[in-house]
Each structure stands twice: as C-alpha cells, then as structure tokens.
Amino acid sequence: MSQEQHSVDEAIEQVAREADGELAEVKSALSRAQQAMDNARSAMQGAYGKARERSAEVAERVRTHLDEARVHLNEAKEASAKLAAKAREQAEQLYAKAKEQYEALAAKSREMIEKVRDRVSEIDFKQRGDQVLEYIRVNPGKSVLIALAAGFLVGYIARPRD
C-alpha cells in the first residue's frame, strides 16, 4: 500500500512539473501578445498629430501588430487547453488509482470481517461461561483479586481528566 501511495505522490509531482512547463508556455504567449498590443498602442500614439498620408501607413502598422497579438492570444488559448486536458487526464488516472486502492482495501476488510465472524461463531459462550464459573469455584481468592484489578483498571480509564 505504501508503494502504491508513493506512486500517487509521484504522479502528483509529475503533474505539477508538467503544469509548470505548460504555464511557462502560456505566460510566454501572453507576454508576446502584450508586447504586440503595446507596439500597436505605441504606433497609434506616434500617429497622433502627424500628416494624413502617414495615417494610412500607421493604420497598417497598427493592424499588423493587432493581427500579431491575435495570433499570440490564440497560441495562449491552445496552450491553456492543452494544459487543461493534461491535468484532466492526470486527475482521472489518480482517481482510478485511488479507487483501485480503495476497492482492494474494502475487499481485505470484508475478508477480515468474515474471518472474525467465523471465529466468533465458533466460540461456545455457554461452555466458556461454565468454565469461568468453575474456575471461580476452584480459585475464589484469585477470582476476587482479578475482579478487583479489572475494576480498578476500568475505573482508572473511565475517570474524568482535568
């Protein structure tokens, strides 16, 4: 069980490492998109107050930068989708492992309960009670001491604590 738990921990670590790489790719694409939008803003600000013939050239540069920003945003969207798909896949695998471990544990628990039930059903309580009474008749002094010790122990355990 410890080894299976260890493999779940390793899988979680692997997901974290992969997520870091995918997040770096998303951050990079978003950074490039931001830079392209900043370039577009700069080009628009540079056009302010310039002659009308330069406006067409500036408008084309702005359009180019905005198209570039759109491409980078699409890259970021695709990388995010890829990251989400990998995370979902890893979560499904971890869930399957945990479910498998749970089912194995449940099966073992049922098996152990059956064994205990069988052993308890084999015990003849009437015969055991008769044996205890016979022991008390044969050894009354020991029986009283055992009863005192058991009573003391139960009282000690059950007393309220501060």
8 and 40 within one domain: yes
pLDDT band per the 50, 70, 90 thresholds, residue 50:
low
Please name the helix (run of DSSP H) or strand (run of DSSP E) that holds residue 49, with its range, or none: none
Q: Mean pLDDT, to the nearest integer, of 21-47?
A: 79
34 and 106 within one domain: yes
Euclidean distance between CA atoms 151 and 149, whole angstroms: 5
Backbone torsions φ then ψ of 43, nearest 5 degrees: -65, -40
60 and 19 within one domain: yes
Euclidean distance between CA atoms 56 and 72, whole angstroms: 24
When divided into structural domains, the chain yields a total of 2
129 and 119 within one domain: no
Euclidean distance between CA atoms 41 and 62, whole angstroms: 8
Note down the domain range covering 35.
Answer: 2-123
92 and 18 within one domain: yes
pLDDT of residue 1: 46
45 and 78 within one domain: yes
pLDDT in tens, 130-144: 888 899 899 999 999
59 and 76 within one domain: yes
Q: Which residue has the higher pLDDT, 41 or 95?
A: 95
pLDDT of residue 160: 86
Euclidean distance between CA atoms 132 and 143, whole angstroms: 9
128 and 105 within one domain: no
Q: Would you say 72 and 80 are in contact if contact means Cβ atoms under 8 Å apart?
A: no
CA triple 139-119-149, angle to 5 deg: 30
129 and 58 within one domain: no
88 and 65 within one domain: yes
31 and 107 within one domain: yes
Radius of gyration of the chain from its Cα atoms, rounded to whole angstroms: 38
What is the value of pTM for the model shown?
0.47
pLDDT band per the 50, 70, 90 thresholds, residue 107:
very high
31 and 89 within one domain: yes
C-alpha pair distances (Å), 89 with each of 84, 86, 95? 9, 5, 10
